[in-house]
Amino acid sequence: MAGEETELSDKQKKEIAKWFLLNAPAGEIQYVAKDLKSVLNNDDVYDEAASEAFPVYNKSHMICLEMPGRFGDVLVTSYGELQGNEYLDPKTAQVAIVDHVKQVCTEVRPATDEELPTPYVEEYRCALEAEMLKYVSEAYPKGSCSVYCINGKDVEGPGYDFELVAVISAARLSPQNFCTGSWRSIWNIECKDDIQVLELKGKLQVGAHYFEEGNVQLDAKHECRDSTMFQSPDDGAIAIASLIRHHETEYLASLEASYLNLPDATFKDLRRKLPVTRTLFPWHSTSQFNLTREISKELGIGK
């Protein structure tokens, strides 16, 4: 019957709730979750949606959590994911057990030898991580980074290829001032021993949310490639970090330039240059227009 409202099934409600959780801006998922729980008024549906959405959200946003026992912080990423809710922190060789919905690290255990790369690969990984930590501390005051070996972690010496990935996650959250922002970058480094080349592939993502008396969001993405010579661990790390610094600085500068041009270029281009008649309005001679006369003519009044 027309006008009747159809009650959503629990499965439909769960999928809608997941969509809202997964699309929450950086650092705001807990606020969204609180409102959703109140709106749903169904703990079972909410718990199921949260248990599925939070792990995906946490990994995609590469959130940083403090590990108990003064081990430092761990980045929650798919590159460090082991099994269940366990995530490797390469810097400390510790494995963090994470409660995704509460967004806290509950336990820590030492990583096993099988979960870590060989000493040969670890030398390259450690050297790159040291250079990346220097760069991140300078460029991102509230940033974190980790370097993982994602392919060839069993390589024992020269003559074989392996792949590292460096991830950077930085967030500036100020909900009390109605704004949040995040920077995420992922750099895949293929170490090709046979041709003595290091190939870099970068994926950069910037997000911002301003919601004081409105709702404005930015979601900018950028990809880039570069390469350098396969060198010693220390020299290779310096070269890679320099390339990453160059590309990220260049992209940030392009973002700043584009927003400086918003008032004079982008916003101006959004407006129609000419009215639908394709002629400029004759402001110097408005007497030729008589609204009453035109309406009367159209309606046939006075004939």
What is the block-wise mean pLDDT of the chain (303 residues), using blocks of 10 residues? 72 95 94 95 95 97 92 94 94 96 96 95 97 95 94 93 97 90 96 93 94 87 95 95 97 87 65 64 57 60 55
In whole angstroms, give the CA distance from residue 88 to residue 138: 25
User: Are 167 and 185 spatial neighbours (Cβ–Cβ below 8 Å)?
Assistant: yes
Question: What is residue 187's predicted lDDT score, i.e. its pLDDT?
Answer: 98
Ordered domains of the chain (ranges, CATH): 8-61 (3.30.1140.60), 62-116 (3.30.1140.60), 117-263 (3.90.1150.210)
Opening angle at CA 236, ends 235 and 241, nearest 5: 100
For 138-148, b where at least 16 C-beta lie within 10 A, e where not — what string?
A: ebbeebbbbbb
Give the Cβ contact number of residue 263 at 10 Å: 9
Question: What is residue 274's predicted lDDT score, i.e. its pLDDT?
Answer: 61
Question: What is residue 205's predicted lDDT score, i.e. its pLDDT?
Answer: 96
Beta bridge partners of 117: none
Helix or strand holding residue 60 (H, E): helix 43-60
Question: What is residue 1's predicted lDDT score, i.e. its pLDDT?
Answer: 46
Predicted TM-score (pTM) of this structure: 0.84
CA atoms within 13 A on the CB side of 86: 14
Signed CA dihedral, 256, 257, 260, 261: sign only: negative
